Amino acid sequence: MIVREAKIADAPAIARVNLDTWRTAYRKIVPTDYLAQLSYEKGESRWQEILANVKNTGVFVCVAENDSGLIVGFAAGGPERTGKYVYKGELFAIYILQEYQRQGIGRQLVRTVATKLAELSLNSMLVWVLGDNSAYRFYEFLGGEKVDEQQTSRAGVALKEIAYGWKDIAVLINTPV
């Protein structure tokens, strides 16, 4: 498994991983018709724009490739978006295709994001996760402390989001994969 910085040419693969993971991870959380209407093309366009503006926004994206060069996961991070918390960095997104989960790829991606945040002198990190998504256990396993909760809406459904934080991301950087 290789984790590397994403390129604009990776946008179609990132969009595929993003959408396919949404359809598996959120199938019991958001309405099926909403998931069905999501399109690879819109996702690809959104990711092309994000990747084209990396230098201007402070956002960065990394991808995980399997041994065949297929992108099977990605993560995005950058400065914490609200300024409301003591955490300086944020893990905005992390998605891994279902068949590649529980193989250490998530830990590799989090370590890569934490390393990049540290290079930017953002030595703490926040992440938001849907409360109904079992992925929250992953962040607890990595030592994230529950920081906050808020209500949000996705596809017309009221959902709880939980924020986890690390005051010192060195613990993530130095964690064995």
- What pLDDT is recorded for position 168? 94
- What is the average pLDDT across 157-161? 85
Cα distance from N-terminal residue to C-terminal residue, the chain: 12
pTM over 0.85: yes
Residue 171 C-alpha from the chain's centroid: 18
For residue 58, the model assigns a pLDDT of 85
CATH number, domain at 156? 3.40.630.30
Per-residue pLDDT band for 89 (boundaries 50, 70, 90) equals very high
Number of domains in the chain: 1
159, 130 contact by CB (below 8 A): yes
Q: Which residues of 77-111 are buried (b: 16+ CB within 10 A; e: fewer)?
A: bbebeeeeeebbbbbbbbbbbeebbeeebbbbbbb
**pLDDT over 70 (residue 62):** yes
d(C-alpha 88, C-alpha 78), whole Å: 9
Pairing of strands 89-96, 125-130: parallel
* Residue ranges making up the domain that contains 151: 2-173
- 112 phi, psi to nearest 5 deg: -65, -45
Give the pLDDT of residue 29.
81
Does 76 score more than 90 pLDDT?
Answer: yes
> Can you say whether the dihedral through the CA atoms of 172, 3, 23, 117 is positive or negative?
positive
Q: What's the CA gap between 135 and 154, in Å, rounded?
A: 17
- Per-residue pLDDT, 109: 96
Residue 92 — pLDDT band, cuts 50, 70, 90?
very high
Q: In this predicted model, what pLDDT tens digit does every residue of 8-59 receive, in sequence order?
A: 999 999 999 999 998 888 787 888 888 888 889 999 999 999 999 888 888 9
Q: What is the mean pLDDT of the chain?
A: 91
pLDDT of residue 35: 84
- H, E, C per residue of 30-60: CCHHHHHHCCHHHHHHHHHHHHHCHHHHCCE
Q: What contacts 176, CB < 8 A, 6 or more positions away?
A: none
* Phi, psi dihedral angles at 10 (to 5 degrees): -80, -10
